[in-house]
A and B are shown apart, each in its own frame.
Chain A
Amino acid sequence: MKMLFFLCGLVSVGFVLCISIYLFVAGIPAFKVIGISDMLFGKVWLPTASTTEPSFGILPFILTSIWGTAGAIMIGVPIGLLTAIYVAKAAPKKVATAIRTSVQLLAGIPSVVYGMIGMVVLVPLIQRTFDLTSGATLMAAIIVLAIMILPSIINVSETALSAVPAEYEEASMALGATKEETWFRVTLPAARSGVATAIVLGIGRAIGEAMAIIMVSGNVANMPGLFKSVRFMTTAIASEMSYAAVGSLHRDALFSIGLVLFLFIMLINLGLKFFIREKKEET
């Protein structure tokens, strides 16, 4: 019986190992052929060019993913944190419950639905507002991502804020601080490792998202610009994998993008571990 549990445990370990190894094995050859710096810092992605020399620069994807994630964090974190403070500290019980329920629903919406709504509502809106030829831009993707990461930011930071002992807040109020001052200057700093965890989770979610943003970002391999159509690391893989010929350099290069994405996510997880460890040490 014990053996069965062990084997089940082994399954996930096995999958992680297989996927990691496969990504390295499949992702490295293109780097070898094209050259690490030509690939990482190349600004032109023309994998199937026939009249000219094909070009395999993936910098546009890397930067787009970074800008997209950073933008989503810049919008999503303030909104998410303020919501969390409101729900944890200020909202009447009924309102808090209503918000919590909506946030849970938000978390459950499939990303393709976000993409669809973004496509029919947000993209035309941006096109009209900024008078662009197409509204399918990095900006649209950032807004969709910002909404998608709200649930993890709100949930995790609300839990952290609620766990701050009431004594800290009482001490602050007794010194003549207002409630608002107390939330921002005592409660939030006291919950900082939980809040940092929330942000890192949000980053992880944003950088790994593909489906929702492929539908609103125009999917063109431009260097990123707020009002340009762009392609992310994830969306490059998702959109090109189906037609990249087996055994071609194009296909290998897509695996290299996968490897880079994988390394980013590993980095983020390391960050997460760090904040969780810090939290344990605090208590």
Chain B
Amino acid sequence: MIINVQKLNLWYADNHALKDISMDVPRNQITALIGPSGCGKSTFLKTLNRMQDLNPIVRIEGEVWYNGNNIYDPKMDVTDLRKHIGMVFQKANPFPMSIYDNIAYGPRTHGIRARAKLDAIVEKALKDAAIWDEVKDRLRKPALSLSGGQQQRLCIARALAVEPDILLMDEATSALDPISTGRIEELVTQLKKKYTVIMVTHNMQQAVRISDQCAFFLLGELIEYSDTSTLFSTPTDKRTEDYITGRFG
């Protein structure tokens, strides 16, 4: 287990958005989070790299264990944590800089200055994110000149460039066409050899296609969590069944 969540509760002011969530996330697997809009998937994902710290109205109780440390321990080094737990957002958000500088941003932030080393990191990250061939001749061009699908893969590459253990992805394909989506799904399946992926998706076929574990959230609660084939073939909870058969959501 790479992540172990224990009795996690989260409030946005007095909106109780996560209720007693406990779950284990296995290493080198893809874990999908599904559930209707507003059930707390993004909220949960953002608790795993403490991005919720940025929101002053959020209050959190409970524990999230990562590599033997509770990430909510006050002694936790948050920037170091975020180096190990990378994140890809729903809307591709490359920096308004060159493709190269986007990828090099993380490594530079963490103190890597040597040109040759950066070049190598950039190339490797872009290759890992399956976008190297498309951009290798235009690394100095602005990242915003890429297509939406390319921008999203660039953001994945940017996250990979800091060599995280875990990659959190929040509906990373929801704004993309089927071909770009296919490429990213393929990419994510490749990534699990080296990384652990936790992804939010609204697309149940996608969850079935690529995830190993699947967690179903409803109104801030974790209703059911098991391996994906079990969850979709023999759900134990009536609400899960209703959701995956499309009776609501």
On A, residues with C-beta under 8 Å from B are: 165, 167-168, 170-178, 181, 185-186, 189-190, 282
Q: Besides the contacts A174-B49, A175-B86, A176-B109, what 13 more A-B pairs have beta carbons closer than 8 Å?
A: A167-B93, A170-B54, A170-B93, A171-B94, A173-B54, A174-B159, A175-B105, A176-B162, A181-B109, A185-B105, A185-B109, A186-B105, A282-B96
Q: Please, how many angstroms separate the alpha-carbon atoms of A189 and B94 in the complex?
A: 13
The yes or no answer to B243 lying at the interface (CB within 8 A) is no
Known: A172-B105, A175-B109, A175-B158. Contact between A189 and B97, CB under 8 A? yes
Question: Considering only CB atoms, which chain B residue lies closest to A177 in the complex?
Answer: B109
Residue contacts A-B, CB under 8 angstroms, 13 given: A167-B93, A168-B95, A170-B54, A175-B82, A175-B162, A176-B82, A176-B109, A176-B110, A177-B105, A177-B106, A186-B95, A189-B96, A282-B96
- CB of A201 to closest CB in B, whole Å: 22
- CB of A170 to closest CB in B, whole Å: 7
On B, residues with C-beta under 8 Å from A are: 49, 51, 54, 79-83, 86-87, 89, 91, 93-97, 105-106, 108-110, 155, 158-159, 162
Q: Which residues of B contact A172 (CB under 8 A)?
A: 95, 105, 109
Question: Considering only CB atoms, which chain B residue lies closest to A175 in the complex?
Answer: B106
- For A171, A172, A178, the residue with the greatest tally of chain B CB atoms inside 10 Å of its CB is A171
- CB of B99 to closest CB in A, whole Å: 14
Q: Which residues of A contact B94 (CB under 8 A)?
A: 171
- CB of A148 to closest CB in B, whole Å: 32
Q: Which residues of A contact B108 (CB under 8 A)?
A: 185
Question: Considering only CB atoms, which chain A residue lies closest to B93 in the complex?
Answer: A167
- CB of B247 to closest CB in A, whole Å: 35
Which of A168, A174, A178, A186 is close to B87, meaning CB atoms less than 8 Å apart? A174
- CB of A192 to closest CB in B, whole Å: 9
Q: Please, how many angstroms separate the alpha-carbon atoms of A26 and B79 in the complex?
A: 64
- CB of A263 to closest CB in B, whole Å: 34
